[in-house]
Amino acid sequence: MADPELKKSKVSMMAMKSQSHTRSHAAFGSKSMSRMKMRKGSFGFASVPGIRPVERTSQLAIEFKRPPLLFLNTYQLDPHPDGIFNVPKVRKITEETLNENFTGHRYNMQESPAVALKIAGEVMRKVKALQFNRYRICTVVTIGQKRAQSYNNAVSFLWDHERDNYFDAQREESTAFIQVTTFGVYLD
């Protein structure tokens, strides 16, 4: 006759707290054995910042207490005058990045996408370092090959003309062109 312990599901075996967490390999398959090797009291909170162990209050586990989070409404609808999306600063960053990474660039189908990603990443990182508070920064970079074709680019989305802004830069080399557009969209 089969042992009643073998008929229990793996989930019910995991829930049994009163018995030891290590069981013999013969009683359970190799899959369940890997799940059964757990340390008692390890709930995964040790690496979470802000959670500290409190004194032991039970025999089963250490209780953890998270400090209370308090969020107050700011009722701020307009950006702070010092934190407005500053187009001249973004222009300077974009021009410097293009001078460093795109000057003398020759279009190559394999290398140009990597250059576009590099430029977009650098512009985003440098603009975010300016810390425009409550602005979402979005950078779009397009690199194309010059082959006597036309190029039209249109961007359309909901826009607040008083708070949102953008900067657009174009550059041409002998075999390629680039367009870098950086948007600063205010979050209210």
Average pLDDT across the chain, whole number: 77
- Identify the domain boundary among 48, 71, 94: 71
What per-residue confidence (pLDDT) applies to 25? 47
Mean pLDDT for the stretch of residues 82-96: 94
- Identify the domain boundary among 71, 99, 115: 71
pLDDT at residue 97 above 90? yes
pTM over 0.95: no
**Cα–Cα distances in Å, from 104 out to 19, 49, 69, 98, 176?**
71, 47, 52, 10, 10
Specify the higher pLDDT residue, 13 or 95.
95
Same structural domain, 65 and 155:
no
Mean pLDDT for the stretch of residues 103-118: 93
pLDDT at residue 12 above 60? no
DSSP state of 69: P
Domain tally, the chain: 2
What's the CATH code of the domain at 140?
Answer: 3.30.1140.40
Of 170, 116, 108, nearest to 143 by C-alpha is: 116
Mean pLDDT for the stretch of residues 94-101: 96
Residue-wise over 75-109: b if at least 16 C-beta within 10 A, else e? eeeebeeeebbbeeebeebbeebbeeebeebebee
Same structural domain, 42 and 108:
no
Question: CB-based contacts of 159: which residues, under 8 Å, 6+ apart?
Answer: none
Does 2 reside within a domain? no
What per-residue confidence (pLDDT) applies to 88? 96
- Identify the domain boundary among 40, 71, 102: 71
DSSP state of 4: T
- For residue 97, the enclosing domain spans 81-186
Same structural domain, 59 and 113:
no
Of 183, 104, 171, nearest to 144 by C-alpha is: 171
| % residues pLDDT > 90 (the chain) | 43
pLDDT in tens, 136-177: 999 999 999 999 888 888 888 888 888 999 999 999 999 999
Does 142 reside within a domain? yes
Does 3 reside within a domain? no
